[in-house]
Amino acid sequence: MAKRIAAKHKIDRRLGVNLWGRPKSPLNNREYGPGQHGQRRRKPTDYGVQLMAKQKLKGYYGNIGEKQFRKYYAEAVRRKGDTGENLIGILETRLDAVVYRMKFVPTVFAARQLVNHGHVKVNGKRVNIPSFLVREGDVVEVKEKSRELPVVLEGAQSSERDVPDYLEVDHSKMTGTFTRIPKLEDVPYPVQMEPSLVVEFYSR
C-alpha cells in the first residue's frame, strides 16, 4: 500500500468537493483548489471528467493506490451485471469501509488505522488487513479491550451520518453484520459518485 502523503483536507481541495461531507473541510470556506493557480477555472475535457470521477472514488475510500484500484476494476468487469455497480459493491465490502459505515470510527482513515492495529474481528477472528473483503452475513466487531478507545467512542457518538440499511449494528456491543452488497443508490455518499465514468476511463 502506497503511503498517503496528502492530508485528507488537501484531497478535498484538489478535487474541489467536500468528499466526506465533514463540517471541518476547508472547502466550506474556500471553494477552489490549493496553490497560487487554484482559483483559475478551466473547462475540463472528457478525459478530465473521467479522471476526476476515478480520483473521487479512490480518495473517498482512503486514497486507494492505483494498482489496487485497477484490481478492483478488473474484478468488477469479471462479475456479472453492471461494471460500475459491481465496482461500488466491491469497494463497500472493504473491511475499513465497513468499519467506517458502521460508525465504529469517525473517518475512513481512522477505520484503516483501527484495522491495521488489530482492533477489529471478523466472525470472531482478528483481521488486520484494511482491504480484506467482507462477505454477506459476516459479523464485524471491535475487540472488547478496544471499545473504550477515544476514536471508537467518537465514531459511535457522531451525529454527522447514519448507518446505511445494508448493515445491522449494535453500538452497545460494538458489533455489526454485513447483510447485503449495496447498489450505488444505497450508498450514502455526501457527493455524487459516477462509477460509469470510471468504467469509461479504464475502457479508453
Over its C-alpha atoms, the chain yields an Rg (Å, rounded) of 17
Q: With a cut of 70, say whether residue 8 has pLDDT above it.
A: no
Q: What percent of the chain has pLDDT over 70?
A: 79
Q: Supply the pLDDT for residue 9.
A: 55
Residue 118 and residue 99: Cα distance in Å, rounded? 13
Sheet containing 125-126: order of strands: 125-126, 120-122, 139-142, 175-178, 167-170
Q: Mean pLDDT throughout 141-165? A: 92
Q: Supply the pLDDT for residue 160.
A: 79
Q: Mean pLDDT throughout 152-163? A: 88
| pTM of structure | 0.83
pLDDT in tens, 66-95: 999 999 999 999 999 999 999 999 999 999
